[in-house]
Structures are given as C-alpha cells and as structure tokens.
A and B are shown apart, each in its own frame.
Chain A
Amino acid sequence: MNGFQVLILSVLTLLFAASLTALLRGWSGRREGIVWCGLCMIAAVATIWPQVTVRVANALGIGRGADLVFYCAVVVMMVGFWMTYIRLRYLRRDVTQLVRHIALLEARSQLPDADPGDDSGGNPSSRQH
C-alpha cells in the first residue's frame, strides 16, 4: 500500500465515521446517511483493491477501472449539483416567504385597525370560518 492510498483511506475513514455518527444520532436523514456510508465503503474498496474496479469495468465493457471510476464520479457529481440546485431553489422560496411574512407583519401597523364596511377581506383573523 503506497502513501497515496493511506492518505485517501484516512480521509475516507474520517468521512465514514462522521456519516455513521450523523446517521446513528439522527443528525442527517436516514437515506442520505446510508448513501454517504455506502459511497465511503465503495471508495475504500476501490482504493485498497484497484483490481476490483478493473473487473467490474470489464464486465460492463469498459477497458480500464480508472475510466469506470471517472464515469461514476461525473454522474455522482452531476446528480449532486442538481440536487443542491433544487435545494437552493426551495431555500430561496422559503426565504422569500419569510421576508414577506416579516414585511406584512411590519406593514400591518400602517393599516387602520378596523376595516370599516368590509366583509369580504381585511384582517385575516376576521376571515376565519
């Protein structure tokens, strides 16, 4: 085992430990925790026994194990970017709703308390039914 493998393995071990802790303590979602732990283990196997990737690659009709790892990495990264982007969009939407809520709360003081002669709208609390 060369120095590079040791380095990669130590990083993977830390990552695995962190994911496992997060999974067991319920900090992360169950599904993403399992995905992370699985990814760490697959990466560790590929680092310790690179021949395994060659065998899998050959079975899939890809010449080299390194190519297989590269393809997988590209796909995983693209999916990851996409999921992050979607998350970000929902986050932005949440921020907007928060900002809107604060803005409306602040602005309500500008409205006259009672809405004279208005039966259809006005104060939201009066619209409950």
Chain B
Amino acid sequence: MVWPLAKSAFDRLVDSDWAAGYDPQSISRGFAGVRKNEPMTQPSTTAHDAFPASRNPRVYVVIPAYNEAAVIADVITAVKASCPDIIVVDDGSRDATGAIARRSSVYVIRHVINRGQGAALQTGIEFALMAGADIIVTFDADGQHDAADISRLTAPIIAGACDIALGSRFLGETIDLPAVRRLLLRAGILFTRVTSGAAVSDTHNGLRAFSRRAAECIRLRLDGMAHASEIIDQVIRSGLPWREIPVTIRYTDYSRTKGQSSRGAIKIAMHYLLGRVMR
C-alpha cells in the first residue's frame, strides 16, 4: 500500500526535470521565478549577472513555421546573418517548409500534427534549452520581423539589465500597417492590460528574447494564437525584470494574409480566458 505511493513520489523526484514540461502541476509551480536547481538566495526580481566577456552567450533563434515554404528560406538567410544557431519548428506543415529549412544548416524540429504557434514555440524553447542555449529569441517565420533587431533584443540580456526583452512595434517602426490591424492590435493591448494588468505596449509581437532562466519559466499551454497573452502573463508572474525594445515590423502582402482576422481575434480571446480558468 505504501510502496507504490513512495515509488511514484520517488519517480517524480527523479524525473522532475525532464518531466517538468509535461507535468500539469509544475505549470502552476513553475512561476516562483527561481527553480529548485538554482540557489534560492538569489532574489528573483534582479536580473542575472552579465555574461563574462570571455564567453559569448549562446543565442538560439526559434522560428515556428506553418506552411511558410514561400518565405522560410529568405527568413533563415536573413536571421543567419546575425545569429547562426537557428531552430525551425515545422508545425506539421503540408507544404515543403520542413524540407526547405533542412537544406540550410539549421535545427529542424517537426511536429507530426499541426498544433498551433503556441505549441510550436514551446517545443522550440524546450529544444533550445536542451541544446544549452543561454538566450532564446523567438522570431516569426512570415518575414515581418527585421533580423537586425535580434541583436538589439539580446543586448540588454547579455548586459544583465533584464531577463526578458519584448519587441514592440508601437515603440518602433511599422511599415504599411493596415488601419484595421492597428485597431485590432490596440484592442489586444487593452485586453492584456485588463486581464494581466501588464502595461505592455505591443502584446502580439512575435519577436521576443529570453534569458535561460526566463525561458525555463515559460510553459505555454495554449496551443493556438492565445499564447501571446499567455507569455505576457507568465513574464509578469515570473517576477523577472523585463523591458520593451522598439522593433520594426514590415507588413507585406504575404504577412497580411497570414495574420488574424477580427473574428479570429475574438476566438483567441475566448481561448485565452478559458485557459486562465482551466489549469
């Protein structure tokens, strides 16, 4: 009677690190800001130490991609120029996204079934942690981001000024942002301010950078697009210092077709609210 209980407790103890991403309980536990394998004396509200100049921090760029065969090669080439370690998460694409990505020397992770951008990001982040990343950058595959912004996001983390850098198009530059899309994004920002209490100027920006310990706090459970609000939530709750960095977003005809419709936005909001109730 006691033995199976003790055994399962032991298993959980031994497996805890590997299973952390798969254990629903760890999701609620994971936001203490300090994980158990880190010294507890370190207050979570201060940023990590700056990286020593002798060792270059390993920066990994995670690119979640779903049916992006038309642009993925260009995006990889552009990102390669500023960061050689790239992880493309092929989220069950039905086109040649994965095959094209495999042609360049990047890590390609394949979701057998399409699970949504949030799920792909989480997979990419976990793989980057496995690979020993010091800093993890998320980058959209549709070519709306400027690869030159990556170094601007990682700079404050490398300097030890913050753990999380969020790209903001409203602090930076937006090229050809449609009026309806602007309105929708404003609504999203207001929504996030109400639900998470975070004064973030651009909540739905795919360009973000995390220090290793910040990435360890991120556990995305919302598979679809609602993860954008979820990330902000978890960033706030982790208690780790974050800041916004102005970035450029380029709205092309291609990226516009990949974006969200107004109806989709309402669906995303519903998903997010339900996700907050359900643990």
Contacts and interface: CB of A to CB of B under 8 A. Distances in A.
A24 to B, nearest CB: 26
Interface string A76-111: 000000000010010011011101111110111011
Nearest to A127: B17
Interface residues of A, number: 29
B237 interface: no
Contacts of A5: none
Contacts of A127: 17-18, 37
A36 to B, nearest CB: 25
Q: What is the interface residue range for chain B against chain A?
A: 20 to 34
A122 interface: yes
B131 A103 contact: no
Contact of B107 (A89, A92, A107): A107
Given A99-B112, A107-B107, A115 B14 contact: no
A43 B278 CA distance: 33
B129 A104 contact: no
B126 interface: yes
Contacts of B119: 96, 99-100
A2 interface: no
B221 interface: yes
Contacts of B223: 92-93, 96
A129 B37 contact: yes
Given A100-B21, A101-B22, A103-B109, A95 B115 contact: yes
Given A99-B115, A103-B109, A125-B18, A111 B131 contact: yes
Given A97-B22, A110-B107, A123-B130, 9 more contacts: A86-B278, A95-B113, A96-B116, A99-B113, A99-B115, A104-B123, A127-B17, A128-B17, A128-B18
A-B interface, 3 closest residue pairs, ranked by CB to CB distance from nearest = A124-B18, A118-B132, A107-B109
